[in-house]
Structure 1
């Protein structure tokens, strides 16, 4: 249908109905000359004669009769398509409830929420800060949140996810640690260091990943004390009770001064993801993922890799 301009078709259909250029122009609020020009341009595009003028009005050719019948259906289809598109856009208006741990997403959650509200008229994004990933899963599970920011893996929860950022893994050590002055370390360098474990993770799978367990040689990661929170991890590291493996961006959120954050050259990165259940509004989730990836630059780095 690329040869047919819908404006020209609309003018032709009005002529076919009224059997008069003048009456068609009145019905469309166009001049008779404009209607006549539209019909000539339509005939030129299709390479056929659609109507003939007589002293008693307008007569349709066989081609004109065919276009009058099928063209009306086409315009109806286009109108219905526009209604469906507007209905989908309108369905996005409402509230998207987003759960996040400040340690995972405070760097961009506000920016993303503002961008999403600006992009989707009528949408309200609420941010629900929670202390641990377990709390995020609770909110997703009982319907108090539609989506969350979480580092992977989270275990067999049946939730969907899309990665929006990949963060280097670092080791946090006390400034008194023998490796404190190194610009980078390997997991082998940390083979004898017990790893402090915050009691906030969502599954054994998640704990093994955060510990980098097993280590490259197949041996287990040495487990250090289990503490209630991330903040407690940092305090224990500062006292020399062990080390902590963490995503590099968390460095910006801490104020403990007697620590060093050292890159681990051979450890897997942490993937931060948007996580959502089946009942979440999929069009909004898709838009959220796009906005977060724009803010974090994830798509640009992924395509450049």
Structure 2
């Protein structure tokens, strides 16, 4: 049974008139009549009772009309779905984020994708450091990452979406908590709480900032992620220099202060080299525009 024959049958069943159905289908009436006879012959049933005055569905024809509507509806849905996927409008994106980006950027990412690409689902993996995201991208376990450059290893492409200043996090009872602005030199004798990963882009920027101020930081504690890092600072076990987006994680016993002379860190979208998924490209373009616009707006 050809889909063409099924569509012809559905048109005749709806109109109960071969001439009207032929006009609707933009085919010649003799060709339509021949196609219906072919279908009846293939099924070995009579689908229409025909007289010189009217065309009526038989019981078998009524059953096929219901089934044809279901089948053709499913085919049309499949065609639309395939076209949405090919156009980058439908599917699944597996997204990894650094600890801070999960708090500062994930809500905006989820909102804009839901609004602009409602048939795209996001599978989220949060609190992933840059090396882990790069490994997952190369292995095909992630489609897109939000990470701190530089990328670790080869075959990962980056697109910068934000440049953030570093700020100071201290406990509320720390001597610097009362200062509105702090200099890196003010931290010379302080114990630092830093990220545990040796490849942390934030740690590298903090180290450069300290060296420019003329000292090497005393790294008292290492934390596996941002939440633990801030908890250690709030407990008074040290100070931390962190990206500005960490302000999105308020914590009792903790205050943030601007730093005059600290480095900046970048936040980038990351994906594997050679990726030709149209859905990924659509999400990349959408997020680049949305997040860069948000970033410029916050800097003004």
Q: Normalization by structure 2: what TM-score?
A: 0.60
Corresponding residue of 1:140: 137
1:267 aligns with 2:262: yes
Shift of 1:102: 5.0
Unpaired runs of 5+ residues, structure 1, are 1-28, 30-85
Q: Tell me the secondary structure at the aligned position of residue 211 of structure 2.
A: coil
CA drift at 1:252: 1.9
Partner of 2:248: 252
Residue number among 172, 176, 185 corresponding to 2:173 in the alignment: 176
Change in 2 beyond 3 A, CA 1:94/1:292: closer
Unaligned runs of 5+ in 2: 1-25, 27-81
Pair 1:126-2:122 in alignment:
yes
Residues 154 and 185 (structure 1), Cα distance of their counterparts in 2 relative to 1, 3 Å cut:
farther
The answer to whether the 8 Å contact 1:97/1:147 transfers is: yes
Match of 1:105 among 102, 106, 114: 102
2: CA distance between counterparts of 1:109 and 1:266?
29
Following the alignment from structure 2 to structure 1, what is the Cα–Cα distance between the partners of residues 192 and 158?
28
Give the Å deviation of 1:234.
Answer: 1.8
| Matching residue of 2:228 | 232
In structure 2, distance between residues paired with 1:90 and 1:265 = 49
Over 3 Å counting, the alpha-carbon distance change for 1:112 and 1:175 in structure 2 is closer
Output one character per residue of 1:94-130: Cα deviation in whole Å (capped at 9) or x when no partner: 3322122453134443443453465458x52323223
* C-alpha RMSD over aligned residues: 3.3
1:195 aligns with 2:192: yes
Counting matched residue pairs gives 217
* Superposition deviation, residue 87 in structure 1: 7.7
Distance 2:202 2:135 in 1: 16
The runs of at least 4 aligned residues of structure 1 exceeding 6 Å deviation read 86-89
Counterparts in 2 of 1:212-223, with a 5 A limit?
212=208, 214-223=210-219
Residue in 2 that maps onto 1:296: 291
Q: Is the 8 A contact 1:173 1:259 kept in 2?
A: yes
Does the C-alpha gap of structure 1 residues 87 and 207 become closer, same or farther in structure 2, counting only changes over 3 Å?
Answer: same
Per-residue CA shift, 1:57-99, capped at 9, x if unaligned? Answer: xxxxxxxxxxxxxxxxxxxxxxxxxxxxx98982524332212
